[in-house]
A = this chain, B = another copy of it.
């Protein structure tokens, strides 16, 4: 069965990824594209400064772009994907939900709100039931669902596979690609022959979103996972793919082999865009992997890739990687949309 979907902020970098991922999607059909007022009325093919290395699907190029305004969204749209700037999203997403739309959003606003599900379908699909709480509290007919930040989503699936060992503590350093900052976010003068040990707000996002994602939902309230999480975030001169070094500690003291095994057997979700296996794990014979350019497109950019698992004095260290604009942004929202459809919320 097919659902009619819209993309809010369709001309931006993440918006373009949505367009590509939705092309030939088995369940979703693009019914509406919005952008800023300046682009409203233009065909998408002209409004979007297309930057992906495959062309705009023909029929999408001809869709007339609408203003990002609740009044402009057709009534028969079942689901809206949002990649709006977070200040714009903070204003318009509640209006859309109040108007009855279900919104799967990549924008960072409201991710930590008590009644907003922050979900990765393979990890915490049950958090989606927070929608009941949300509707009660806000009186909405629609619903707002968020996916986490790209640096968080790279690490959390590996941690989720390891919570069975009694996860107590996480320290993570990231090597993040420039596309995470949007098309114009990092200038070439800033990053060529350089690295920047700071990405505004990113460390806090990793620390707080991880604990929410791994937390338990008892049907009424969501509790944070008790593990300590500390992050140090860096920008490096790569285009796509966030690489992360994780140091983790556990109540039980799992061997590197047990850690690899747990990650490799982490279950996929039964949804069109969920990769199987969820996590590709490189063994001891390939300590130099994962690498951004070599591994970011595994599972069409939706797979998590791990490696370098080794013991430390008090735990294990390992590396993980994901494609930041697919698994870490547009693909994450899309997967949440598939979960919403599968669970009957749309």
Q: State which of B51, B169, B195, B239 has its C-beta within 8 Å of the C-beta of A193.
A: B239
Chain A: interface residue total (CB-CB under 8 A) = 52
Interface set, chain A 234-261, CB cutoff 8 A to B: 234, 236-239, 243, 245, 247
For A200, the closest partner residue in chain B by CB is: B287
Contact partners of A247 in chain B: CB under 8 A: 171, 230, 232, 247
Contact mask for chain A residues 224-238; partner B; CB cutoff 8 A; 1 contact, 0 none: 000010101010111
Chain A positions within 8 Å of B, measured between CB atoms, are 51, 53, 169, 171, 173, 175, 178-179, 183-198, 228, 230, 232, 234, 236-239, 243, 245, 247, 287-295, 297, 307-308, 312-314, 317, 319
Q: A53-B297, A183-B187, A187-B183 are in contact. Are A192 and B245 (CB under 8 A)?
A: no
Q: A173-B232, A197-B291, A230-B317 are in contact. Are A188 and B237 (CB under 8 A)?
A: yes
19 A–B contacts from the bound complex (CB under 8 Å): A51-B294, A171-B312, A184-B187, A184-B189, A187-B188, A188-B188, A189-B239, A191-B192, A192-B192, A192-B238, A194-B291, A194-B292, A197-B243, A197-B291, A197-B307, A198-B308, A230-B314, A230-B317, A237-B237
Q: State which of B187, B243, B314 has its C-beta within 8 Å of the C-beta of A195.
A: B243
Q: State which of B192, B243, B317 has its C-beta within 8 Å of the C-beta of A234.
A: B243
A178 to chain B, nearest CB (A): 4
Q: Are A194 and B293 in contact (CB under 8 A)?
A: yes
Q: Are A245 and B197 in contact (CB under 8 A)?
A: yes
Q: A53-B294, A183-B189, A288-B198 are in contact. Are A232 and B175 (CB under 8 A)?
A: no
Q: Are B238 and A313 in contact (CB under 8 A)?
A: no
Question: A186 CA to B179 CA in the complex, in Å?
Answer: 14
Contact partners of A190 in chain B: CB under 8 A: 188
Looking at A195, A239, A290, A317, the one whose CB has the most chain B CB atoms below 10 A away is A195
Contact partners of A169 in chain B: CB under 8 A: 314
A174 to chain B, nearest CB (A): 9
Q: Are A238 and B171 in contact (CB under 8 A)?
A: no
Q: A187-B183, A189-B51, A193-B292 are in contact. Are A175 and B236 (CB under 8 A)?
A: yes
Which 5 A-B residue pairings sit nearest by Cβ, starting from the closest? A173-B173, A232-B245, A230-B312, A194-B293, A197-B319
Q: Are A178 and B183 in contact (CB under 8 A)?
A: no
Q: Are B53 and A195 in contact (CB under 8 A)?
A: no
A236 to chain B, nearest CB (A): 5
Contact partners of A234 in chain B: CB under 8 A: 175, 243, 245
Q: Are B183 and A237 in contact (CB under 8 A)?
A: no
For A287, the closest partner residue in chain B by CB is: B198
Contact partners of A187 in chain B: CB under 8 A: 183-188
Q: A195-B243, A236-B236, A247-B247 are in contact. List 4 more A-B contacts (CB 8 A).
A: A194-B238, A195-B236, A198-B308, A228-B312
Contact partners of A183 in chain B: CB under 8 A: 187, 189
A122 to chain B, nearest CB (A): 22
